[in-house]
Amino acid sequence: MDKNPKYYSFLTVLLPVGMLFSYDSEKNVKPALIPMHQQLEWISEQFNLEDRNTCFIQRIIVNIFQILLNSNEAYTLKVPLNSVILEAKIETGMFNGLQTLKQLIFVGNGKYCMKRFTITDWQAFAVRSFMQDVGWNFQSIEILKEKIDVLTAYKFNMFHFHITETLGWSFERKIYPQLNYMNHLNPLYGIIQLYFDHINGAFHGYSKRLCSILCCWNDNNVNDEYDIIIKNPIYPEILAYSETSWAGQKKDIGENYLDKLTEKRSELFNKFSTFENYQNEPCDKDFLEKSFLYVNRTNIERNILEPIANNSDVYANFSVEDTLQETYRIDTTKYLWRRSYSESTIYLTHYFCYPYYFLREDGTYNVYTQIWSSKKQTVGAWIGFYDWLRLAKRRGVPFLENEEWHNIRQKAWLNGKMIVAQKWDNSGLANNTE
């Protein structure tokens, strides 16, 4: 193992089954824009908004040229000379333009500034909705308002309020028969699933494929209402879904990248990397007092060892657990590391069968990475292995035992030292499928 204290070697065994930002330089500034716009042209100049000759003009107009879809929510923004001009057909488009405008203002050398640009923008899907289920867990008005403030800032236009689980109260909305629900989103891979989602299999919406609804529900009780936000990646996913539902997909990539990143330095990889970096800006200014549960994925590299045959023995131990080497020879087979996967969550087999890097193979997988720290320190770590879905009291398999990460004996090491799992509150519970 690497003995340098500034690197943390991490080895895992897996077994399959509206604010302003500050900028104090004169160099070229391009603010992060989420969602990205349909047509955007930057002009190199920037100007001081505090100049008394600067004026802001808002105009309702009959028609906006170059708008291809959903013109009622569309808008244009222009910055000629010392003016900012916002135009839209109705107030909804005007409101969307104002959200963009807030992202474009920055502080440069102590003054409010804006870069010159021209934007023509419209949404690919008419319905961009978020659903909050409070049927199982109470959410106060304060928490609901916080979410709605974030939704409106990123151009969502519908809040679906799921009030009760009482079946007799449910009703059908025949006007929107094609609305879809999303769930099963892990904080470390759900963002990429939303970002590359080909919504309803369409490049843009139409009468029977308006959009999807990003849903949040917890079927089990939580200790505190804010745990709904802390334990779910709500705000990062709102930003990712804002991007996809507003801009739409320009290419048909199917389900190829719903659970894995594209090849490094490819067009799609670079596009997603840019979006991740854009997320950091609102995270630093809009979510300082909120839980923003995400770490950039494109700068994480993991090495994966080819699956070692274990004859279905989950207790089997191999030399990779004792020392890190370039290759291993176990029995008569040579095993190699497959290098440089940009992944924060590794799925060997996905429960929705999305395409991934590996064919389904029996055996023991090993994952290795290095984590850099500029100083010796104590930090938190998120270590987890996918466990079976447990809804309410239904358990498809027994709960794991104390100090185990999973009931099929997965393990983790840090700098050569095995990390023992915690003592679980409900260890050893038998399975219950009723």
The CATH number of domain 21-121 is 3.30.379.10: yes
Inform me whether the pLDDT recorded for 133 exceeds 50.
Answer: yes
Ranges of each domain in the chain: 21-121, 129-285
DSSP classification of residue 169? G
User: Residue 236 — φ and ψ, nearest 5°?
Assistant: -60, -35
Burial class (CB in 10 A: 0-12, 13-18, 19+), 92: middle
What do you get for the CA distance between the two ends of the chain, in Å?
47
The rounded distance, in Å, linking the Cα atoms of 217 and 286 is: 24
Closest CA to 336 of 328, 348, 345: 328
Task: List pLDDT tens digits, range 109-127.
Answer: 888 888 888 999 999 999 8
Closest CA to 12 of 428, 400, 427, 409: 409
Name the strand (E) or helix (H) holding 56. strand 55-60
DSSP classification of residue 395? B
The rounded distance, in Å, linking the Cα atoms of 77 and 119 is: 5
What string of DSSP letters covers 363-383?
A: SEEEEEEEEE-SS--------
Task: List pLDDT tens digits, range 263-306.
Answer: 888 899 999 999 988 888 877 778 888 888 888 888 888 888 88
- The first and second tokens of residue 140, run together, are 């106060």
pLDDT at 238: 92
Name the strand (E) or helix (H) holding 242. helix 234-247
Amino acid making up residue 257: Y
Mean pLDDT of 156-185: 62
**What's the chain's Rg over C-alpha atoms?**
25
- The first and second tokens of residue 319, run together, are 């030399």
Tell me which range, 167-171, 228-232, 276-280, 385-389, is most confidently predicted by mean pLDDT: 276-280
- The first and second tokens of residue 126, run together, are 């008419």
Q: How many CB atoms lie within 10 A of CB 397?
A: 16
pLDDT at 34: 93
pLDDT at 12: 41
Cis check for the bond before 31: say yes or no (omega within 30 of 0): no
Inform me whether the pLDDT recorded for 102 exceeds 60.
Answer: yes
Beta bridge partners of 8: 371
Q: Which of 17-21, 238-242, 327-331, 385-389 has the lowest mean pLDDT?
A: 17-21
Closest CA to 283 of 240, 313, 323, 320: 240
Task: List pLDDT tens digits, range 220-277.
Answer: 677 888 888 887 888 999 999 999 999 988 888 888 887 778 888 889 999 999 998 8
Q: How many CB atoms lie within 10 A of CB 32?
A: 19
